[in-house]
A and B are shown apart, each in its own frame.
Chain A
Amino acid sequence: MSPVALAGVPALATSDKKADQAKKGAVPASGSLLEVLNPRGLPPPITLVPMAKRLDSLDGKTIYLVSDGFPGADTFLNQIAIWFKKNMPSVTTVYRLKAGGFADDDPKLMAEIKEKGNAVIMAIGH
Chain B
Amino acid sequence: MGIPSAPLVTKAFKDLALLNAAKRGMPHERICFTPHPVWGKTPEEVRVYVEGPDPVTGKPFMREVVDALTVPLSEEDKKVGNLSVSVGPATFTDTADNLQEFYLNNGYTDFLPIIVPTEQRVDQMLKATSHHPDDVVGKMAAGAYPAWSYNVRQVAANAVMAGCRPEYFPIVLAIASSGMASLFSSTNSFAFAMVINGPIRDKLEFNYGIGALGPFAQPNATIGRAWTILSKNLGNGGIPGDTYLGSLGNNLNYNNVVIAEHEDASPWVPFHVQKGFKKEENVVSLFRGLGVVPGQVARGSSANENVQFDYQMSDLFSTFTGFFGALIIADPLVAARLKEQGYDTKEKLIDWLYKNTRQTVKDYKSRNYAYLFDYPRALRGDEPWATWYKLPDDAVIPHFPRASDFNIVVAGGQTNAYPQAGNLSYGVSVSVDKWT
Contacts and interface: CB of A to CB of B under 8 A. Distances in A.
Contacts of A125: 10, 38-39
B73 A12 contact: no
Given A51-B28, A76-B50, A97 B376 contact: yes
Contacts of A73: 38
A56 B73 CA distance: 11
Given A46-B82, A48-B82, A55-B69, A126 B3 contact: no
Interface string A59-93: 00001000001111101101110110001100000
A50 B94 CA distance: 43
A120 B4 contact: yes
Nearest to B146: A44
A39 interface: yes
Interface stretch (B15-23, B256-264, B270-278): B15-23
Nearest to A66: B5
Contacts of A53: 2, 4, 73
Contacts of B233: 39-41
Given A52-B2, A87-B62, A46 B85 contact: yes
Given A10-B88, A13-B93, A41-B233, 10 more contacts: A8-B87, A9-B87, A12-B89, A13-B94, A34-B116, A41-B234, A72-B40, A75-B43, A99-B379, A101-B373
B390 interface: no
Contacts of B70: 54-58
Interface string B314-349: 000000000000000000000000000000000000
6 contacts: A10-B102, A14-B93, A19-B93, A31-B95, A35-B91, A82-B47
B144 A103 contact: yes
- Chain B contact residues: helix, strand, loop or mixed: mixed
Contacts of B41: 72, 75-76
Contacts of B393: none
Nearest to B102: A13
A75 B38 contact: yes
Contacts of B96: 31-32, 34
B434 interface: no
> How many interface residues does chain A have, given as a range?
35 or more
Contact of B87 (A7, A99, A124): A7
Interface residues of B, number: 110
Interface in B152-187: 153-154, 157-158, 161, 185-187
Interface stretch (B117-125, B210-218, B295-303, B395-403): B117-125
Nearest to B10: A125
A44 B122 contact: no
Interface string A97-126: 111111100000010011001111111111
B131 to A, nearest CB: 16
Contacts, number: 299
B119 A37 contact: yes
Contacts of A37: 90-91, 117-119, 122, 153-154, 157
A39 B117 contact: yes
Interface of B: 1-10, 13, 16-19, 22-30, 34, 37-43, 46-47, 49-51, 62, 65-66, 69-73, 77-99, 102-103, 105-108, 116-119, 122, 140, 143-144, 146-150, 153-154, 157-158, 161, 185-187, 229, 233-236, 239, 245, 371-373, 375-377, 379-380
Nearest to B371: A71
Contacts of B73: 51, 53-54
Contacts of A97: 376, 379
A121 B62 CA distance: 11
Contact of A76 (B18, B34, B95): B34
Contacts of A10: 88, 102, 105-106
A12 B239 CA distance: 19
A3 B84 contact: yes
B133 to A, nearest CB: 11
Contact of B27 (A1, A8, A79): A1
Contacts of B147: 44
Contacts of B122: 37
Name, among B37, B50, B233, the residue most crowded by chain A CB atoms within 10 Å (CB to CB): B50
Contacts of A41: 87, 140, 148-150, 154, 233-236
A7 B3 contact: no
Given A73-B38, A124-B9, A54 B50 contact: no
Contacts of B143: 103
Contact of B88 (A3, A40, A110, A120): A40
B99 A13 contact: yes
B99 A83 contact: no
Contact of A114 (B3, B43, B47, B86): B3
Interface in A3-55: 3-4, 6-14, 18-19, 22, 30-55
A70 B153 CA distance: 40
